[in-house]
Chain A
């Protein structure tokens, strides 16, 4: 297998402990990295600075049949990135930044077509499918316009390369449409192919026709018969009839005029799509017409038209030798032989004619990828078509694979198919679409399209997407919002958590605590939620300025989190107390301590908060059971080996930052005394209806 050398720091990755499976690239499942040196060599390598080594991709994305030039022309390049956290190297086929408008529009068409079953909603499918060719034509027009504008600039060469490539794509796509996605009953391939040839091969110089019409001695003009013959080869019945009619009108020699008239009569009977129906009368009519052509060819009249005229009649009779003699390309020969020997030939029976043309024109020469693709399409060999399209352009092969699969042309059990994507644990359509998406990855402006393509490629696409989307730069709040939403809507849970975590950290730095908590909850990062809640509590305990209620109102109550729940309960306690609803405040406080809502490090603070309730002279807020519970909490703090930690967070009114543990513990005696007093009062005057 031919391989291209790559310079990678992978040897150092190996030294730093990347296991063999980890060294396999993760973003392009098509290729594996093969190092020239053995692993043992690398392990024995003494010089740490000598970390640059030649690497190869196996199988290589550029094979024997693809020249580096055509690789570059198809807008592809290789990019690699090293991931320090896991010592992995990603090598991917990347696309140059070009034709973004086309890429985005075609992505839209892809999404619309790939979700429709062509058998269930043929009309809807066709409407969307036709947009592919429409889009290609639109882009071609833009390129023509651009080329015209940039004709004298340095861009001209680049434009020409892109234009040539796009013309090739356009021709291939249309031919594939004619062969794979149109039924014989719709229109015989002979006519569709002739139309295709006229639209996609500029072999015929229309200016000659103009010159001929303007000239006086038209019939003796050296270009007359070559022009007529070329029109005949391409099935351009109207053009050739018009030209001969004009010539006949101007002809003064009666014999020649008679011959031309007979010739014109034959020309008017050239098979046309509107008069052709497979089998039956159309076939008989065609055979009769051919017989008439042959008869005319043998008649003396033909000699009055000269050798050019004789050749024209031979073409009409379907004489293969003459056709091969006068044609300039295999495509032209194929069109003429098909049209004049068997115009109703079904699509799957073209091989014989194709063989004749290929042998004449392509034998013994280096065949271009474009020709290979065209021949494969005419052979109606979807696998070969994809194989060659893969060497032509990633966009083309990806979208063609998608529609071929939709039309059941790709049998996944076919070994030839499996051979294309060796080591790729998915079907061939996914393989090409993933590869195409990867070719776009260097351009993050196309992130929606890249993500959309990957999403439609089963588990391989989704896992690639899940990894890649975390690296999409979030330059603005709008983009961050879009990326997060995309992950959420498409079940990319890991990516969603990862991005939320990053955004949470950012919001925390900015002091946007409510937003930070929301992001951390979404990222399932309980520890970070706890940290932000701690920050909020510390700020509140220090200066009491933070509007806890306002902050909490901003956090969706639908996403439950125990730390936020604690904060909500604590804020409720404060609010009830401020509003004078002491009973409710007491209940909330008891729940905070006894149901386990409040972390133990806040118990001391909460017990201090309980003081005004314990000392309330108007009514007893806590009954004896509650009081016992509070006493138990107090003893848990002071009796714990972590006492120093638990006493850290005392209100600033009772301790300072420099207070010792003993001093802090002593402050709690005030609470202890109040609890004892409340116990006595609650036993003497039990509170009514306190329990919920």
Chain B
């Protein structure tokens, strides 16, 4: 594999521990900020047992100023507000932020589930609203729903992909309703994100990025994006916060790539080998989009400056300058997979969930 190798700067990240594997973690940012308390949701997993969704609250130490790392460290002692069991393993979770935030989950049973959270000072609740199976094989049983994404701005549609290699569009106000369903894509689909309110991108297990037009998702818009030098399965995908043409993907071998959908033949930057194993989630830093944040099976989080990598890539066509600075974040007691990340773009706190039960947290 041709990858950019990155120089390492390793830092310690603080950890709060829960007695289960944290498979997904998402902030409930809410519409009001600053808040006295910050809230986030986790999907907790124990093999062979029922998964649980949990809402947590942590004190916002400095409500009117930018938080400092030591404030977060001192004040990060989350309290559990509400908990509910979840059918099947949670493979993805997203939040529709509202007065009463909605949690949308994709499960290993191929179901999309909707939960309503009610966060109040005295009592908080997490209530199941609806469940519907959208992925499966006729007569052959279950196909897990591997990833989902909420349509930006309107928030009225959910795109989900599954082991059945189909992309499905679902109405968020009525998740029983399948709006559209794609034909089967021969390579398995691993992740999905909305590029804009009219276009959807999916990552495949054969290293491709396929684009779909929301008006008709039966077939992907060809040609597909594929890096001829990098055919490892893609595991995650995310959209740039401001540039509609840019996407980032993470792959099975620990590399992240930046794509410009106007240039289908190769990614913007050579795949950057950030991690030593599967990249489980990748995202552009919401406030500094020239940085990528990623989490990996190798037990670390990383931030890497892809803009710097891009400049080097353009100026050095021979590809010999292969070293860029990335910062790794790991906890001394966590050596297991960091499954999920999310960034609170107003409180500037990065959260991550790990298989060791660690909730890793840091100001970025």
Contacts and interface: CB of A to CB of B under 8 A. Distances in A.
Specify whether A and B are partners: yes
Interface of A: 100-101, 104-105, 107-109, 111-112, 127-128, 131, 135, 444-445, 447-449, 452, 473, 475-479, 481-482, 485, 489, 509-515, 518, 547, 550-551, 553-558
Given A476-B144, A477-B163, A485-B297, A511 B208 contact: no
Interface string B134-146: 0001001001101
B57 interface: no
A108 B334 contact: yes
A580 B9 CA distance: 55
Contact of B186 (A101, A108, A554): A554
A24 B208 CA distance: 49
Contact of B277 (A452, A485, A510): A485
A558 B253 CA distance: 14
A515 B356 contact: no
| Candidate in A452, A478, A556 with the most chain B CB atoms within 10 angstroms | A478
Nearest to B1: A558
Interface string B38-52: 000000001111000
25 contacts: A101-B17, A104-B336, A104-B357, A107-B335, A108-B334, A108-B356, A131-B333, A444-B48, A445-B49, A473-B47, A477-B108, A477-B144, A478-B23, A509-B140, A510-B140, A510-B143, A510-B163, A511-B137, A511-B140, A514-B186, A514-B188, A514-B206, A518-B205, A553-B187, A554-B206
B108 A476 contact: yes
A688 to B, nearest CB: 33
A112 B10 CA distance: 14
B204 interface: yes
Contact of A478 (B17, B89, B164, B276): B89
Nearest to B331: A108
Interface size on B, as a range, is 35 or more
Contacts of B336: 104, 107-108, 448-449
Given A448-B337, A554-B206, A489 B277 contact: yes
Interface in B73-109: 88-89, 91, 108
Contact of A510 (B91, B137, B207): B137
Interface of B: 17-19, 21, 23, 46-49, 88-89, 91, 108, 137, 140, 143-144, 146, 163-165, 184-188, 204-208, 224, 226, 231-232, 235, 252, 276-278, 297, 331-337, 355-357
Nearest to B141: A510
A644 B51 CA distance: 56
Nearest to B232: A556
Contacts of A558: 231
Closest 9 CB pairs of A and B: A554-B187, A445-B47, A554-B206, A476-B108, A551-B186, A108-B335, A101-B19, A476-B89, A111-B335
Contact of A482 (B226, B335, B337): B337
A511 B91 CA distance: 22
A105 B333 contact: yes
A135 B163 contact: no
Main secondary structure of the interface of A (DSSP, over half): helix
A482 B204 contact: no
Contacts of A452: 335
B152 to A, nearest CB: 26
A104 B231 contact: no
Contacts of B47: 444-445, 447, 473, 475, 479
A47 B11 CA distance: 68
A547 B186 contact: yes
A109 B297 CA distance: 17
A100 B231 contact: no
Given A511-B184, A553-B206, 15 more contacts: A100-B46, A101-B17, A104-B355, A105-B357, A107-B336, A108-B334, A111-B335, A479-B47, A481-B235, A489-B276, A489-B277, A518-B206, A550-B185, A554-B205, A554-B206
Nearest to B298: A489
Given A479-B47, A485-B252, A448 B186 contact: no
B187 to A, nearest CB: 3
Nearest to B222: A550
| Candidate in B47, B232, B252 with the most chain A CB atoms within 10 angstroms | B47
Contacts of A105: 17, 333, 356-357
Contacts of B355: 104, 448
Given A448-B336, A477-B91, A554-B186, A100 B19 contact: yes
B91 A478 contact: yes
A455 to B, nearest CB: 12
A79 B175 CA distance: 45
Contacts of B226: 553
Contacts of A489: 276-277
Contacts of A449: 336
B222 to A, nearest CB: 10
A131 B332 contact: yes
B195 to A, nearest CB: 21
Contacts of B333: 105, 108-109, 131, 135
A554 to B, nearest CB: 3
A479 B297 CA distance: 11
A449 B357 CA distance: 13
A509 B17 CA distance: 40
Nearest to A109: B333
A26 to B, nearest CB: 23
A530 to B, nearest CB: 19
A553 B231 CA distance: 10
Nearest to B15: A105
A522 to B, nearest CB: 12
